[in-house]
Amino acid sequence: MLIMQNIITDRGSRYAVSGAPCATEQDAAAFIKALKRHKKFAKATHNSWALITAEGLVKNDDGESGAGMVIGRMLERAALTGHLIVVTRWYGGKHLGGDRFRHVQEAVRLYLAEIKSD
């Protein structure tokens, strides 16, 4: 499990990105459960995620409408299957509008760069 915390801040909102190899939606649920054992992640406003399994794209916005699809498209472009990416947001009190999607994309970019460098 790779966790990159406090990678983006904007108008009080903070972002983290995490992930790990993951084969099924059940594995993804277990990963999210493990992630939420960290008190900080359990208190997050959103833990949006996506995973490409053998059956196709599986995603969950966790209330951040459209975020799972953004993560999924980036996984597809990177041709990364069997790997879960979770973008976590702690809401800072001000709406970010479309900037929230740019932040999700940047979080995924940072994660992909990190796993490619390993």
Q: Which domains occur in the chain, in start order?
A: 2-117 (3.30.230.30)
Mean pLDDT in the chain? 95
Tokens representing residue 111 in the block: 């994660």
Summarize pLDDT for 76-87 with one digit per residue, the tens: 999 999 999 999
| Per-residue pLDDT band at 117 (split at 50, 70, 90) | confident
pTM of the model: 0.94
Contact predicate 49/57, CB 8 Å: no
**DSSP per residue, 65-104:** TTHHHHHHHHHHHTT--SEEEEEEEE--SS--TTHHHHHH
| Per-residue pLDDT band at 69 (split at 50, 70, 90) | very high
Q: Give the whole-angstrom CA distance, residue 35 versus residue 3.
A: 9
% the chain with pLDDT above 90: 93
| Per-residue pLDDT band at 118 (split at 50, 70, 90) | low
